[in-house]
Structure 1
Amino acid sequence: MSIARVRLATVEDAKEIARIQRVAWEAAYADLPGALAALDAVDAEQQWTDAIEFPFSTVYLATEGEFNVGFCVAGIAPESEVADASGALPDDAAKTGLIASLLVEPRWGRRGHAGRLLGTAAQGLRELGAERGISWVGQSDHPALGFYRRAGWNPDGTVRVLDTGETTIREVRLTGTLDLALA
Protein backbone atom coordinates (compact mmCIF):
# COMPACT_ATOMS: atom_id res chain seq x y z
CA MET A 1 0.00 0.00 0.00
CA SER A 2 1.37 3.42 -0.98
CA ILE A 3 1.78 6.14 1.61
CA ALA A 4 0.07 9.47 0.89
CA ARG A 5 1.83 12.62 2.09
CA VAL A 6 1.95 16.38 1.67
CA ARG A 7 5.26 18.22 1.67
CA LEU A 8 6.64 21.60 0.75
CA ALA A 9 7.37 21.88 -2.96
CA THR A 10 10.91 22.62 -4.12
CA VAL A 11 12.04 24.18 -7.38
CA GLU A 12 12.84 20.65 -8.57
CA ASP A 13 9.05 19.98 -8.43
CA ALA A 14 8.13 22.80 -10.83
CA LYS A 15 8.02 20.56 -13.90
CA GLU A 16 5.73 18.05 -12.18
CA ILE A 17 3.45 20.80 -10.83
CA ALA A 18 3.16 22.24 -14.35
CA ARG A 19 2.27 18.75 -15.61
CA ILE A 20 -0.41 18.28 -12.94
CA GLN A 21 -1.86 21.71 -13.75
CA ARG A 22 -1.99 20.86 -17.45
CA VAL A 23 -3.71 17.50 -16.88
CA ALA A 24 -6.22 19.03 -14.43
CA TRP A 25 -6.98 21.93 -16.77
CA GLU A 26 -7.44 19.56 -19.73
CA ALA A 27 -10.17 17.81 -17.74
CA ALA A 28 -11.76 20.96 -16.29
CA TYR A 29 -11.54 23.28 -19.30
CA ALA A 30 -11.87 20.92 -22.25
CA ASP A 31 -14.56 23.22 -23.66
CA LEU A 32 -12.20 26.24 -23.50
CA PRO A 33 -9.39 25.52 -25.97
CA GLY A 34 -8.18 29.13 -25.66
CA ALA A 35 -7.46 28.65 -21.95
CA LEU A 36 -5.42 25.54 -22.71
CA ALA A 37 -3.61 27.33 -25.53
CA ALA A 38 -2.78 30.21 -23.16
CA LEU A 39 -1.34 27.71 -20.70
CA ASP A 40 0.80 26.26 -23.50
CA ALA A 41 1.97 29.75 -24.52
CA VAL A 42 3.67 30.45 -21.21
CA ASP A 43 6.66 28.76 -19.69
CA ALA A 44 4.63 27.01 -17.00
CA GLU A 45 7.66 25.34 -15.46
CA GLN A 46 9.38 28.72 -14.96
CA GLN A 47 6.18 30.23 -13.57
CA TRP A 48 5.96 27.41 -11.02
CA THR A 49 9.64 27.86 -10.14
CA ASP A 50 8.89 31.55 -9.51
CA ALA A 51 5.81 30.66 -7.43
CA ILE A 52 7.76 28.20 -5.30
CA GLU A 53 10.45 30.82 -4.66
CA PHE A 54 7.94 33.63 -3.99
CA PRO A 55 8.37 34.67 -0.35
CA PHE A 56 4.71 35.47 0.39
CA SER A 57 3.13 32.14 -0.47
CA THR A 58 3.79 28.45 0.05
CA VAL A 59 3.39 25.68 -2.49
CA TYR A 60 2.56 22.23 -1.15
CA LEU A 61 2.86 18.99 -3.11
CA ALA A 62 0.73 15.88 -2.51
CA THR A 63 2.34 12.54 -3.17
CA GLU A 64 1.19 8.95 -3.14
CA GLY A 65 4.07 6.54 -3.04
CA GLU A 66 6.50 7.72 -5.71
CA PHE A 67 3.87 9.73 -7.61
CA ASN A 68 3.20 13.48 -7.44
CA VAL A 69 -0.59 13.80 -7.50
CA GLY A 70 -1.64 17.34 -6.58
CA PHE A 71 -0.60 20.72 -5.28
CA CYS A 72 -1.86 23.71 -3.33
CA VAL A 73 -0.72 27.34 -3.20
CA ALA A 74 -1.51 29.30 -0.03
CA GLY A 75 -0.54 32.57 1.62
CA ILE A 76 -1.91 35.57 3.44
CA ALA A 77 -4.62 36.99 1.18
CA PRO A 78 -3.88 40.23 -0.65
CA GLU A 79 -6.35 43.01 0.13
CA SER A 80 -7.74 42.80 -3.41
CA GLU A 81 -8.82 39.19 -2.74
CA VAL A 82 -10.41 39.93 0.65
CA ALA A 83 -12.27 43.14 -0.22
CA ASP A 84 -15.97 43.10 -0.92
CA ALA A 85 -17.45 44.24 -4.24
CA SER A 86 -17.25 47.90 -3.17
CA GLY A 87 -13.58 47.56 -2.18
CA ALA A 88 -14.23 47.67 1.56
CA LEU A 89 -12.04 45.45 3.72
CA PRO A 90 -13.38 43.29 6.54
CA ASP A 91 -11.95 43.79 10.03
CA ASP A 92 -9.97 40.55 9.76
CA ALA A 93 -8.42 41.28 6.34
CA ALA A 94 -4.86 41.04 7.66
CA LYS A 95 -5.66 37.67 9.26
CA THR A 96 -7.21 36.03 6.21
CA GLY A 97 -5.42 33.32 4.26
CA LEU A 98 -5.90 32.57 0.57
CA ILE A 99 -5.96 29.17 -1.05
CA ALA A 100 -4.92 30.46 -4.48
CA SER A 101 -4.93 27.08 -6.17
CA LEU A 102 -5.69 23.51 -5.16
CA LEU A 103 -5.55 20.88 -7.89
CA VAL A 104 -5.37 17.10 -7.83
CA GLU A 105 -4.72 15.14 -10.99
CA PRO A 106 -8.13 13.63 -11.90
CA ARG A 107 -6.93 10.00 -11.90
CA TRP A 108 -5.86 10.47 -8.25
CA GLY A 109 -9.14 12.05 -7.16
CA ARG A 110 -11.33 10.85 -4.31
CA ARG A 111 -8.38 9.45 -2.37
CA GLY A 112 -8.12 12.23 0.24
CA HIS A 113 -5.33 14.22 -1.42
CA ALA A 114 -7.31 17.48 -1.66
CA GLY A 115 -8.27 17.21 2.01
CA ARG A 116 -4.68 16.61 3.06
CA LEU A 117 -3.52 19.55 0.93
CA LEU A 118 -6.17 21.90 2.36
CA GLY A 119 -5.50 20.72 5.92
CA THR A 120 -1.75 21.22 5.57
CA ALA A 121 -2.19 24.63 3.94
CA ALA A 122 -4.63 25.66 6.68
CA GLN A 123 -2.08 24.70 9.35
CA GLY A 124 0.58 26.73 7.52
CA LEU A 125 -1.75 29.73 7.30
CA ARG A 126 -2.52 29.52 11.03
CA GLU A 127 1.22 29.55 11.72
CA LEU A 128 1.38 32.82 9.73
CA GLY A 129 -1.35 34.32 11.93
CA ALA A 130 -4.36 33.74 9.70
CA GLU A 131 -7.66 33.02 11.41
CA ARG A 132 -9.85 32.19 8.41
CA GLY A 133 -9.39 31.27 4.80
CA ILE A 134 -10.85 32.16 1.42
CA SER A 135 -10.73 30.61 -2.03
CA TRP A 136 -12.33 31.37 -5.39
CA VAL A 137 -14.16 28.52 -7.16
CA GLY A 138 -16.04 28.43 -10.44
CA GLN A 139 -19.75 28.68 -9.77
CA SER A 140 -20.34 25.63 -11.98
CA ASP A 141 -17.49 23.56 -10.46
CA HIS A 142 -19.77 21.42 -8.35
CA PRO A 143 -17.10 18.92 -7.20
CA ALA A 144 -14.87 21.74 -5.87
CA LEU A 145 -17.81 23.54 -4.27
CA GLY A 146 -18.87 20.30 -2.59
CA PHE A 147 -15.33 19.65 -1.36
CA TYR A 148 -15.04 23.08 0.26
CA ARG A 149 -18.54 22.82 1.75
CA ARG A 150 -17.60 19.49 3.34
CA ALA A 151 -14.60 21.31 4.87
CA GLY A 152 -17.01 23.89 6.34
CA TRP A 153 -16.33 26.64 3.79
CA ASN A 154 -19.29 28.42 2.24
CA PRO A 155 -19.94 31.25 -0.24
CA ASP A 156 -19.73 34.68 1.39
CA GLY A 157 -21.82 36.42 -1.30
CA THR A 158 -18.89 37.85 -3.28
CA VAL A 159 -18.73 36.96 -6.97
CA ARG A 160 -16.26 37.85 -9.72
CA VAL A 161 -16.35 37.24 -13.45
CA LEU A 162 -13.24 36.21 -15.37
CA ASP A 163 -13.07 36.77 -19.13
CA THR A 164 -11.24 33.95 -20.91
CA GLY A 165 -11.52 35.60 -24.32
CA GLU A 166 -13.93 32.84 -25.38
CA THR A 167 -16.43 33.08 -22.59
CA THR A 168 -16.73 34.29 -19.02
CA ILE A 169 -16.33 32.21 -15.87
CA ARG A 170 -18.25 33.24 -12.81
CA GLU A 171 -16.43 32.50 -9.55
CA VAL A 172 -17.77 32.61 -6.01
CA ARG A 173 -15.61 33.35 -3.01
CA LEU A 174 -15.76 30.74 -0.27
CA THR A 175 -14.67 31.29 3.29
CA GLY A 176 -14.27 29.18 6.35
CA THR A 177 -12.28 28.24 9.38
CA LEU A 178 -8.66 27.14 9.27
CA ASP A 179 -9.31 24.71 12.11
CA LEU A 180 -10.06 21.80 9.82
CA ALA A 181 -10.71 18.22 10.76
CA LEU A 182 -10.28 16.54 7.37
CA ALA A 183 -9.46 12.87 7.12
Structure 2
Amino acid sequence: MIALGWTPPPCHHPALLPAGRQWDAIRTSLPIATRAFPYLHGAETCASIIDRRAHTAVWLIPPGQATNAPWEWWQRLSPHVAAFPLAPEPTHIAYIGVPPAARRGGPGIHWRRPNGWTGRYVVADTELLARALAAAVTSVHGPDALARQCRVCRQTVPHTHAVTAIGTPNATDHRPRRLIAHRDCARGMTIEGQP
Protein backbone atom coordinates (compact mmCIF):
# COMPACT_ATOMS: atom_id res chain seq x y z
CA MET A 1 0.00 0.00 0.00
CA ILE A 2 1.07 3.55 -0.62
CA ALA A 3 0.96 5.89 2.36
CA LEU A 4 2.57 9.24 1.71
CA GLY A 5 1.43 10.94 4.89
CA TRP A 6 -0.91 13.18 2.89
CA THR A 7 -4.61 13.49 3.60
CA PRO A 8 -7.36 15.51 1.89
CA PRO A 9 -7.87 19.08 3.12
CA PRO A 10 -9.57 19.35 6.54
CA CYS A 11 -11.84 22.18 5.34
CA HIS A 12 -15.53 21.97 4.45
CA HIS A 13 -15.07 23.00 0.81
CA PRO A 14 -12.84 21.67 -2.00
CA ALA A 15 -9.36 23.16 -2.22
CA LEU A 16 -7.37 23.91 -5.39
CA LEU A 17 -4.00 22.22 -4.89
CA PRO A 18 -1.00 22.02 -7.24
CA ALA A 19 -0.14 18.73 -8.91
CA GLY A 20 3.51 17.74 -8.87
CA ARG A 21 4.32 18.56 -5.28
CA GLN A 22 2.73 16.14 -2.84
CA TRP A 23 1.21 14.02 -5.60
CA ASP A 24 0.67 13.93 -9.37
CA ALA A 25 -2.79 13.50 -10.90
CA ILE A 26 -4.40 11.38 -13.60
CA ARG A 27 -7.65 12.64 -15.18
CA THR A 28 -10.08 10.95 -17.53
CA SER A 29 -13.73 11.19 -18.59
CA LEU A 30 -16.51 9.70 -16.47
CA PRO A 31 -17.41 7.06 -19.10
CA ILE A 32 -13.83 5.72 -19.03
CA ALA A 33 -13.66 6.00 -15.23
CA THR A 34 -16.94 4.13 -14.89
CA ARG A 35 -15.51 1.26 -16.95
CA ALA A 36 -12.30 1.31 -14.85
CA PHE A 37 -14.06 1.17 -11.47
CA PRO A 38 -14.78 -2.60 -11.59
CA TYR A 39 -11.06 -3.29 -12.19
CA LEU A 40 -10.22 -1.14 -9.16
CA HIS A 41 -13.00 -2.48 -6.93
CA GLY A 42 -11.63 -3.47 -3.55
CA ALA A 43 -8.26 -1.75 -4.06
CA GLU A 44 -7.99 0.62 -1.12
CA THR A 45 -5.37 2.67 -2.93
CA CYS A 46 -7.64 3.72 -5.80
CA ALA A 47 -10.01 6.36 -4.39
CA SER A 48 -10.91 8.92 -7.03
CA ILE A 49 -12.21 12.47 -7.19
CA ILE A 50 -15.43 12.72 -9.20
CA ASP A 51 -16.62 15.95 -10.81
CA ARG A 52 -20.00 15.29 -12.40
CA ARG A 53 -20.26 18.86 -13.72
CA ALA A 54 -17.02 18.51 -15.69
CA HIS A 55 -17.72 14.80 -16.41
CA THR A 56 -14.26 13.83 -15.13
CA ALA A 57 -12.58 11.57 -12.61
CA VAL A 58 -9.14 12.23 -11.08
CA TRP A 59 -6.80 9.91 -9.24
CA LEU A 60 -3.84 11.12 -7.20
CA ILE A 61 -0.60 9.17 -7.73
CA PRO A 62 2.87 9.40 -6.15
CA PRO A 63 4.87 12.51 -7.14
CA GLY A 64 6.99 12.05 -10.26
CA GLN A 65 4.82 9.22 -11.63
CA ALA A 66 3.06 11.44 -14.20
CA THR A 67 6.28 12.24 -16.02
CA ASN A 68 8.67 9.42 -15.07
CA ALA A 69 6.42 6.39 -15.42
CA PRO A 70 7.01 3.92 -18.26
CA TRP A 71 5.65 4.86 -21.69
CA GLU A 72 2.78 2.40 -21.59
CA TRP A 73 1.29 4.00 -18.50
CA TRP A 74 0.32 7.48 -19.71
CA GLN A 75 1.54 8.32 -23.23
CA ARG A 76 -0.21 5.25 -24.55
CA LEU A 77 -3.52 6.36 -23.03
CA SER A 78 -3.39 9.89 -24.44
CA PRO A 79 -5.64 11.69 -25.41
CA HIS A 80 -8.20 9.76 -23.34
CA VAL A 81 -6.21 10.11 -20.12
CA ALA A 82 -4.21 13.17 -19.02
CA ALA A 83 -1.33 13.13 -16.54
CA PHE A 84 -0.42 16.18 -14.43
CA PRO A 85 1.94 17.91 -14.03
CA LEU A 86 2.40 18.30 -17.76
CA ALA A 87 5.96 19.56 -17.47
CA PRO A 88 8.52 20.06 -14.70
CA GLU A 89 8.69 23.83 -15.22
CA PRO A 90 6.99 25.81 -12.44
CA THR A 91 5.12 27.90 -15.04
CA HIS A 92 3.12 24.81 -16.05
CA ILE A 93 1.51 24.06 -12.69
CA ALA A 94 -1.86 22.31 -12.90
CA TYR A 95 -4.26 22.83 -10.03
CA ILE A 96 -6.62 20.04 -9.05
CA GLY A 97 -9.82 20.48 -7.06
CA VAL A 98 -9.57 18.20 -4.03
CA PRO A 99 -12.65 17.68 -1.84
CA PRO A 100 -12.48 17.11 1.90
CA ALA A 101 -12.27 13.42 2.89
CA ALA A 102 -15.82 13.39 4.23
CA ARG A 103 -17.41 14.54 0.96
CA ARG A 104 -18.62 11.34 -0.68
CA GLY A 105 -21.43 12.53 -2.89
CA GLY A 106 -23.34 15.45 -4.27
CA PRO A 107 -23.41 17.45 -7.45
CA GLY A 108 -20.00 19.04 -6.78
CA ILE A 109 -16.65 17.28 -6.60
CA HIS A 110 -16.49 14.39 -4.17
CA TRP A 111 -14.58 11.19 -3.42
CA ARG A 112 -15.57 7.86 -4.91
CA ARG A 113 -14.32 5.30 -2.46
CA PRO A 114 -13.54 1.67 -3.28
CA ASN A 115 -14.96 -0.96 -0.95
CA GLY A 116 -13.09 -1.06 2.30
CA TRP A 117 -11.62 2.42 1.88
CA THR A 118 -10.52 3.79 5.24
CA GLY A 119 -9.59 7.26 3.97
CA ARG A 120 -5.98 6.58 4.92
CA TYR A 121 -4.70 5.96 1.39
CA VAL A 122 -5.70 8.61 -1.11
CA VAL A 123 -2.73 8.10 -3.45
CA ALA A 124 -3.43 5.42 -6.06
CA ASP A 125 -1.28 2.44 -7.00
CA THR A 126 0.08 3.76 -10.32
CA GLU A 127 0.56 0.45 -12.12
CA LEU A 128 -2.85 -0.91 -11.10
CA LEU A 129 -4.51 2.35 -12.19
CA ALA A 130 -2.71 2.39 -15.56
CA ARG A 131 -3.78 -1.21 -16.33
CA ALA A 132 -7.39 -0.49 -15.35
CA LEU A 133 -7.53 2.68 -17.46
CA ALA A 134 -6.02 0.90 -20.48
CA ALA A 135 -8.75 -1.75 -20.29
CA ALA A 136 -11.40 0.95 -19.83
CA VAL A 137 -10.19 3.06 -22.79
CA THR A 138 -10.27 -0.04 -25.01
CA SER A 139 -13.74 -0.93 -23.74
CA VAL A 140 -15.17 2.55 -24.38
CA HIS A 141 -13.32 3.52 -27.59
CA GLY A 142 -12.21 0.21 -29.13
CA PRO A 143 -8.78 -1.43 -29.50
CA ASP A 144 -7.46 1.25 -31.88
CA ALA A 145 -7.94 3.94 -29.21
CA LEU A 146 -4.63 3.12 -27.55
CA ALA A 147 -1.57 4.68 -29.11
CA ARG A 148 1.14 2.35 -30.31
CA GLN A 149 4.80 2.51 -29.41
CA CYS A 150 7.50 2.47 -32.06
CA ARG A 151 9.63 -0.59 -31.23
CA VAL A 152 12.73 1.20 -32.56
CA CYS A 153 12.68 4.70 -30.99
CA ARG A 154 10.18 3.89 -28.19
CA GLN A 155 8.09 7.00 -28.91
CA THR A 156 4.36 7.16 -29.55
CA VAL A 157 3.43 6.41 -33.14
CA PRO A 158 -0.07 7.42 -34.33
CA HIS A 159 -1.99 4.68 -36.12
CA THR A 160 -1.85 6.72 -39.33
CA HIS A 161 1.97 6.83 -39.26
CA ALA A 162 2.64 3.28 -38.06
CA VAL A 163 3.93 0.52 -40.30
CA THR A 164 4.41 -3.15 -39.61
CA ALA A 165 7.95 -4.15 -40.54
CA ILE A 166 10.20 -7.20 -40.37
CA GLY A 167 13.56 -6.37 -38.84
CA THR A 168 15.55 -5.87 -35.67
CA PRO A 169 14.71 -2.96 -33.34
CA ASN A 170 18.34 -2.42 -32.26
CA ALA A 171 21.89 -3.48 -33.09
CA THR A 172 22.11 -6.04 -30.28
CA ASP A 173 19.00 -7.90 -31.45
CA HIS A 174 20.09 -10.28 -34.22
CA ARG A 175 16.81 -12.09 -34.81
CA PRO A 176 14.43 -10.27 -37.20
CA ARG A 177 10.85 -10.10 -36.04
CA ARG A 178 7.57 -8.41 -36.83
CA LEU A 179 7.26 -5.01 -35.17
CA ILE A 180 5.35 -1.71 -35.22
CA ALA A 181 7.45 1.35 -36.07
CA HIS A 182 7.43 4.85 -37.53
CA ARG A 183 8.01 4.73 -41.29
CA ASP A 184 11.34 6.58 -40.85
CA CYS A 185 12.46 4.20 -38.09
CA ALA A 186 11.66 1.21 -40.33
CA ARG A 187 14.10 2.25 -43.09
CA GLY A 188 16.17 -0.71 -44.15
CA MET A 189 13.51 -3.16 -42.92
CA THR A 190 10.95 -5.05 -44.97
CA ILE A 191 7.62 -3.21 -44.59
CA GLU A 192 4.59 -5.47 -44.82
CA GLY A 193 2.22 -4.67 -47.67
CA GLN A 194 4.89 -2.98 -49.78
CA PRO A 195 6.84 -4.60 -52.62
TM category (shorter chain) comes to under 0.3
> Relative contact order (alpha carbons < 8 A, sep ≥ 6): 1 or 2 greater?
2
Give the structure-2-normalised TM-score.
0.26
More helix per residue: 1 or 2? 1
TM-score by length of 1: 0.27
Of structures 1 and 2, the larger Rg is shown by: 2
